[in-house]
Amino acid sequence: MTSTTVAIPGPPAADVRRYPRVLVDEDAHFARPATGAVVARVHDVSPDGLQVVCDRDTMRAFVPPGGLRPDAESPRVLARFSLPLADGRERIDVECRVIHMAVGDGAEFALGLKFSSMSAHSASVLQEFIEQSLLPS
């Protein structure tokens, strides 16, 4: 997916991500009290968040009318998905905040979600998945 970007004069901006992203490409269930539940695709994860790829209708379940505003609290989303580990799949449940939205090719949207809370079990599963994924084969 290619994002629509606006050119800003000056030197290229540095990547401000704190952690590497690990490809997931799995369906996940997301819920917001205001909009109900939807299924969307988790593209990648890191220790502090995930990227979701979805269509316009699904994006509307994540983002309030009028879009994301810097002066407003970002929407809370509950996410549930499983990750493949060496000894099988493990489900994680996390609370996230929508912090970024980009328009991609066609009708695709990419949403950046930052983790705000998760259980110790979910944190352990996420860490194990990331470590397994980053180790050379």
Question: Could you tell me which residue, 63 or 111, shows the higher pLDDT?
Answer: 111
Cβ pair 61, 30 in contact under 8 A: yes
pTM of the model: 0.81
Cβ pair 54, 117 in contact under 8 A: no
pLDDT of residue 13: 44
To the nearest 10°, report the CA torsion of 42, 31, 99, 67: 110
Query: Domains in the chain and their CATH numbers?
Result: 22-134 (2.40.10.220)
The share of the chain scoring above pLDDT 90, in percent, equals 55
- The sign of the torsion formed by the CA atoms of 137, 21, 119, 82 equals negative
Mean pLDDT of the chain: 84
CA 93 – CA 126 distance, rounded (Å):
10
CA 124 – CA 42 distance, rounded (Å):
18
